[in-house]
Structure formats: structure tokens, C-alpha cells
Amino acid sequence: MSKYGKPLRFGYSLLPSAIDPKRPLQLAGTAETFGLDYIGLQAPSYRTQDYELWTLLTAMGMATKRISLFVLMAEIPFCSLVLWARAAASLDLLTNGRVEIGIGNRAASGLLAMNGRLQQGKAESLAALEEAIALMRLMWSRESAVDFAGNFWQLTAVQPGPAPTRRIGIWLGANEPDEVALAGWLADGWVSTPYPETQRGDLEKMCDQLDEALAAATRQPAEIQRVLHIAGTIHDMESDTPFQGSSQQWAESLAELALELGIDTFLLMEATEGGDAYAQLERFAHEVVPATRQLVEPENGVPVASGIFRAILGAAASGPTSAEEESGHLDWVDETSMGSFPASDPPGSIDFA
């Protein structure tokens, strides 16, 4: 479980490249075989060799049976939002409820083409994001007809549907404080800009901002999924660079992010169309994922990355006192272990006899 009690989830984020036509489907099948929770598509670069996202995601859904699907959009498809909502609901029905969708944070910055005119203000862009979320959910309702009178979209007596199998998760990509706040108020998931673009310190600040927004919206921290994309490489050798080292280093970093920041979903990004994508996927699924789960949810129930566990290690390193040996009761706090506790981990003791 993460800091907020959500189960850890792991997935793979692949490029929507059509250079090798069957490769995305093969990667999707491999991710499912390896037991990952998610397979999905990175935000498109709109290259000539890229697939149309919903066509590829549908093919991936038909080629798999269990794994959940996600699609990340760099920006809102302003001209086809209703069709986009219908596509998501249709695929959700066809895959028995395995679809989540993400709106990238570029939708809230830069020049946006909306309704045939250019908009540049951030406040206006955020308002468009808010409308987009409301409109998609309205299109997933079971109403016979819906109206929507927004500043950017207007619907009159439009028939929604089809209704999805359940509430489709809307993940909002957000890095700026006002974007993160919007995610806390309205979204089902929050996605940070991928590591290494977003460093640990930045991620910590955004997690605090998200918690503040959730509290202001009277939502619980566990009501939102916290998703981190990671661009890195799993090596055999140790490294001082995060996510450029051994599987154990990866696992320790992910466990720390889960326990200290509450990140619950980790997605490995495909770096290039060629190279060792299958090897990296296998190492992530077979080495990093189980090692991370063991660190966060060890058999004895004490998170390895927690201050309590570090204190146990410290006390064990210094050895029990004579009184502790006689009683079989080891104090966690001594000269070696005292510095292991964060303020949130109270001291205690453990029976070892």
C-alpha cells in the first residue's frame, strides 16, 4: 500500500509508432503476460509514422484480456471532444471496463485553438479543462438527452452514450499549482510530467499542493490516483543517478515515493522504437515490481523504507543490551537507531525471542 492506503500498480507506456506495425500489440501482450496492471500510449508527437491513438488502443484492447488500458493526450481534442468521449465509453464496454484516459498539461498552457479562435490566457485554458471534464462525464451519463452551455462547448439535446461499465478514470496531467489544484478538485487521477523532467523536490511540492487541493475540496487523499511516468534504464550496475541503475535501486526509489509521497501508480516509458524495449519491460516486471512490493509490503507488515524499519536495522547493528538479551525484548531506540525516525514514526520495541 502507498502512504494513503492505495494498492501499488505498475504499467508500461509505449510509443504509438507504426514503423513496426504489430510491435505495439506484441508489447501489450507481453505486459499482460508479465502481470503488469496497465499498458497504454504516451502522448503523441503527431509524427507521420504514429498511429491514431484510439484505433491503436482498441486493437490493444482486443489483443488482451485482463490488463487495463490508458491513453494520454497532450492536449484536449477541442473539435472532437464528444466523439472522444464516445470512443472511450465504447472501448470500455468492449473491454469489460479496462479504460482510463488522461489529458496532458499542455492543454493548459500555450496557444490553444478553440472554436476557431486562439486563446492564450492560463485562466481561460484552465476553465476549458474544467469544462472538458464535465462534458465527458455528461456524455457518459444515462440521460436520454443532455444540454451543455459552456464558454467553449455548447450542446443542445445531444444524446449521450454509450454509457460505460463504470466511472472511467480521468487523469489530469498537471505541474503548475493551479493545474494541480484542478486535479485535486475534479480529477480521478493526477499525472506528473515524467521523470527526469520532474525531479524529486518538484514532485514533493506538487504532492503537497495536491493534498491541499483535495482537503479544500473535502476529498480524501486516497480518492485520487497518483501516477508517475518514468523515463529510465534498468542496468546491472549501481548508479548515483536515479532510475539509471540496478533493479534494487529502482525498487528502493519507487518504495520511497510510494511511502513518503503517496505515489501509487508507476509507468515505465518506452524510450525508442528499437533497442531493448522487451528486455527492459521484462526486468521491470520481473525484478523491479516484485522488489518494490516487498519493500512496501514485506511479510512482517513493516514497510522496509519506513523509519521504523531503519530503526530496527540500527538497533540490530548495535546489538541488544544485557537486559534486552535476558528479556528477549529489543528496544528500537538507542544511540544507533535514534536518528532513523522521521517525526511520523513513533519509537517502540520488538520481541525477538
Which residues make beta-bridge pairs with 154?
A: 149
CA distance 259 to 247: 18
Q: Encode burial over 43-55: b for 16+ CB neighbours within 10 A, e otherwise.
A: bbeeeeebbebbe
CA distance 278 to 29: 11
Contact 223, 190 (CB under 8 A): no
Instruction: Please give the full DSSP string across 190-222, using - where no structure is assigned.
Output: EEPPPBTTS-HHHHHHHHHHHHHHHHHTT--GG
Provide φ and ψ at 2, rounded to 5°.
-80, 180
CA distance 302 to 304: 6
**Considering the entire predicted model, what is its pTM?**
0.81
CATH placement of domain 9-296: 3.20.20.30
CA distance 36 to 28: 10
Task: State residue 122's pLDDT score.
Answer: 75
Domain boundaries, the chain: 9-296, 307-351
Contact 25, 63 (CB under 8 A): yes
CA distance 48 to 35: 32
Task: State residue 321's pLDDT score.
Answer: 54
CA-based torsion, 174, 175, 178, 180: positive or negative = positive
- State the burial class of residue 251 (Cβ atoms within 10 Å of its Cβ: 0-12, 13-18, 19+): buried
Helices 53-63, 81-94: inter-axial angle, 10-degree rounding: 10
Residue 22: Cβ within 10 Å count: 10
Provide φ and ψ at 182, rounded to 5°.
-65, -40
Q: Which residues contact 200 (CB under 8 A, 6 or more apart)?
A: 242, 257
Task: State residue 165's pLDDT score.
Answer: 95
Contact 10, 290 (CB under 8 A): no
Q: Encode burial over 306-323: b for 16+ CB neighbours within 10 A, e otherwise.
A: bbbbbbbebbeeeebeee
Successive 10-residue mean pLDDT values, the chain, 353 residues: 94 93 95 97 81 94 97 71 92 97 62 47 81 93 93 90 94 91 96 87 95 97 95 91 94 96 96 78 97 84 48 43 54 41 42 42
CA distance 289 to 309: 20
The alpha carbon torsion through 17, 99, 96, 87 (nearest 10 deg) reads -80
Whole-angstrom CA distances from 114 to 41, 135, 301 are: 25, 15, 52
Task: State residue 110's pLDDT score.
Answer: 39
Provide Rg for the chain, Cα atoms. Answer: 23
Q: What is the DSSP letter of 253?
A: H
